[in-house]
Amino acid sequence: MSEITYLEAIRAALEDAMHEDERVFMLGEDIGHFGGPFGATKGLAETFGTDRIIDTPISEEGFVGAALGAAWMGERPIVELQFADFISCAFDPIVSVGAKTHWRSGIRFPVVIRAPFGGGIRGGPFHASCPEGWFVGVAGLKVVAPGTVEDAYGLLRSSIDDDDPVIYFEHKGLYRRLKGSRPTPATRTPIGKARVVQAGSDATIVTYGAGVDLARTATAATNGNGSSVEVVDLRTLWPFDEEAVLSSIDKTSRVLVLQEAARSTGAAGVVMSLISQHAFELLDAPAKLHAPVDTPVPFAPELEDAYLPSVDSLTAALDDLLSY
Amino acid sequence: MSTEPASETQWREPDPPGSGVIPCVEAPAIPRETQLELLQLGLLQRLTEDRAMLLYRQGRIPGSYYTGRGQEAVGAAAGLCLGPDDVVAPLNRELSCHFARGVTVADVFRNFLARATGPTRGRDGNMHFGMPARGVFPLVSMLGVLCPVSVGAALAFKRRGEPRVALTFWGDGAMCTGDVHEGMNLAGVLDVPAVFVIQNNQYAYSTPTGREMVNTNIAERIEGGWSIPCQRVDGTDAIAAYAAIGEAVRRARDGDGPHAVEAFSLRMHGHAAHDDASYVPSELLDHFANRRDPIKRLRKRLELDGVPQSELDELHARVSDEVAEGLAEAERAPPADPDTIQDGVYAMPPSHA
Ligand SMILES: Cc1ncc(C[n+]2csc(CCOP(=O)(O)OP(=O)(O)O)c2C)c(N)n1
């Protein structure tokens, strides 16, 4: 089977879903013949026509709202944001309409919002954010973030199949870096289910998105040095798989939560809350949070490199945890 | 001496001389039955809201309470212009539109009284409800946001080639939100069968339209700014509103793109039950109450057209009974059940298994 990138897996999922279901269509800026700023939709307008790959004006609030309206009528729209940072412009339709309407009235919104997030590409404060924390904890929303090629495909297919609004955070830094075999059209990653991507017994890293690859890389050395670290990929950030987090800690008795979002946002808050309430007696050391400081994402290479978690910073944090 | 009081947003056509109720326009082309139906729907709103206001004052309606007094004609007209397969997103002032869609008085009171079997099962109150089975979207408070949602519903109709329209309302205040601009612009670009009815009732809570926008001629702005045809109509005239909205709906349905109507009126009550509207000049309120009350205007037209008083009184009595019966039915409904709070947060609850 041929190798594809994380970005190509996203495109493949869009393509397969559109072939299988007439109701699936896309709205977004420059996604038509241009193919989107990262090329995620390249070729789709040629295959499916501009009636299904619809270029919109710069109106995040407008086209996210419109996606909800079309979903109300039984369509299954996918919205592309150029950068996850711009999700702030669509906050109202997402949290006021998308999140609350099923609970109030039973209307279903099978809408997927694709949000390219994350740093390492010198995007600065407005093109490298991790805004998932604004939505983690919001009843009625689902938030997912694939950290592998297979999940990039499988989570997107599951999000499209889902009858609730799903925000799909795809990591820009992984687009071309991660490669894997092309998932079959039947591949699905269940929403709400984490995965142990690497088994270990001395400590658990709970992470998601770009953290998954980072955790694997950083522990490759550590694990060779006689300690073994388990890596749990949340995959769904909200509502997340509490059971998977607790059962890993039950095994390892030490936990580090790793995220690229600034330390007081992201998914860390809800994971740490779970740990402090339900894993206290399982722990041999205080739960550790490894995440950037509370600032916007800085631009200068020196600043961004210092800001983002790295193999070195993660290794040091793990050493701390293991030697406690 | 002019009989018209000064308001910051003037209705362009001066009132006819005199002091009595100004009848609705004569419209022989609109069947008598339809005109009577408009009256019935307007009255249903008026009498339901009058009753609800009493209940609110007695402390039996929790939270706050909003009426659409003075604007009943617009919701009724829009509701009657829509077909059974069309969809609509009404706001606070359009109870009559819910009734036109077949929502019952009991449904409405079950929501006001926060009952378990009401349209939102007690999860939301006052006018914040819809009936999806009747194509009515539940009001979302964030003004403006239902404009793009309606545009999306219209986009679905266009994609599938269905001859259906999506209609929504908003006020002069909401006209200033960004979503309304984005929604109208998108409707134009995508060329969808959406109909927008703007209720210019001269006030956004306490703020007069002249302080919400520089050019208060909303129809002119919609035509000039968004290139959407927009008729300006007297919103206290049910027959004129019916004709204007009917044309907008027909054109949108015929593939002529989005259409709008600006309906001019006065909010004849405070913003909500707690508000005495002391900021509205009393002569303006009196003027509308005496000459431009939409219920009185339509009744006057029907009287002039030869409908016997007795028939109109009978209609009033029937509506009054319907309200009393609907309330009684709603009062028999069980209270909301705390054990069900978490039901329905998700359409597909995620499995962590
Ligand atoms: C975005 C937003 N901001 C503030 C409010 C609070 N609010 C509710 S109604 C209202 C006035 C609305 O005026 P208008 O749109 O003219 O409608 P009307 O109340 O006159 O029918 C305000 C400020 C709101 N619901 N939504």
Domains annotated on chain A, with CATH? 3-181 (3.40.50.970), 195-322 (3.40.50.920)
Query: Which CATH number belongs to the domain containing residue B81 in this structure?
Result: 3.40.50.970
Alpha-carbon distance B114 to A254, whole Å?
48
Q: Identify whether B291 is part of a domain.
A: yes
Residue-range definition of the domain harbouring residue B81: 32-335
Task: Give the β-pairing of A24-28 and A53-55.
Answer: parallel
The structure's pTM equals 0.97
pLDDT tens across the length of chain A (324 residues): 589 999 999 999 999 999 999 999 999 999 999 999 999 999 999 999 999 999 999 999 999 999 999 999 999 999 999 999 999 999 999 999 999 999 999 999 999 999 999 999 999 999 999 999 999 999 999 999 999 999 999 999 999 999 999 999 999 999 999 999 999 999 999 999 999 999 999 999 999 999 999 999 999 877 766 779 999 999 999 999 999 999 999 999 999 999 999 999 999 999 999 999 999 999 999 999 999 999 999 999 999 999 999 999 999 999 999 999
Quick one: closest CA in B to A244, which residue? Answer: B352
Total count of domains within chain B: 1
Alpha-carbon distance B54 to B145, whole Å?
31
Q: Which residues of A touch B351 (CB under 8 A)?
A: 190, 192-193
What would you report as the CA-atom Rg of chain B, rounded to the nearest whole angstrom?
Answer: 20
Task: Please tell me whether the peptide bond between B148 and the residue prior to it is cis, using omega within 30 degrees of 0.
Answer: no
Q: Identify whether B25 is part of a domain.
A: no
Distance, C-alpha A34 to centroid of its chain: 25
What would you report as the CA-atom Rg of chain A, rounded to the nearest whole angstrom?
Answer: 19
B144 alpha carbon – ligand 1 mean position (Å): 9
Q: Identify whether B175 is part of a domain.
A: yes
Alpha-carbon distance B209 to B201, whole Å?
8
Do the interacting molecules here have an ipTM over 0.90?
yes
Alpha-carbon distance A111 to A132, whole Å?
17
Cβ pair B309, B53 in contact under 8 A: no
Alpha-carbon distance B91 to B129, whole Å?
9
A19, A33, A102, A127: the active-site residue: A127
Q: Identify whether B352 is part of a domain.
A: no
Q: Identify whether B3 is part of a domain.
A: no
B205 alpha carbon – ligand 1 mean position (Å): 7
B242-299 pLDDT, tens digit per residue, is 999 999 999 999 999 999 999 999 999 999 999 999 999 999 999 999 999 999 999 9
Burial of B109 (0-12, 13-18, 19+ CB in 10 A): buried
A43 alpha carbon – ligand 1 mean position (Å): 44
Nearest to A129 by CA among A158, A89, A166: A89
B33-52 pLDDT, tens digit per residue, is 999 999 999 999 999 999 99
- Binary contact (B348, A162; C-beta < 8 A): yes
Q: What angle do CA B99, B132, A165 make, to 5 degrees?
A: 145
Q: Identify whether B167 is part of a domain.
A: yes
Quick one: closest CA in A to B131, which residue? Answer: A105
Quick one: closest CA in B to A105, which residue? Answer: B120
Q: Identify whether B26 is part of a domain.
A: no
CA distances from B260 to A106, B99, B188, B204, B220 (A): 29, 22, 11, 20, 11
Q: Identify whether B4 is part of a domain.
A: no
B204 Cα nearest atom in ligand 1:
13
Measured in angstroms, the CA of B124 and the nearest CA of chain A are apart by: 7
- Binary contact (A190, B351; C-beta < 8 A): yes
Alpha-carbon distance A154 to A156, whole Å?
5
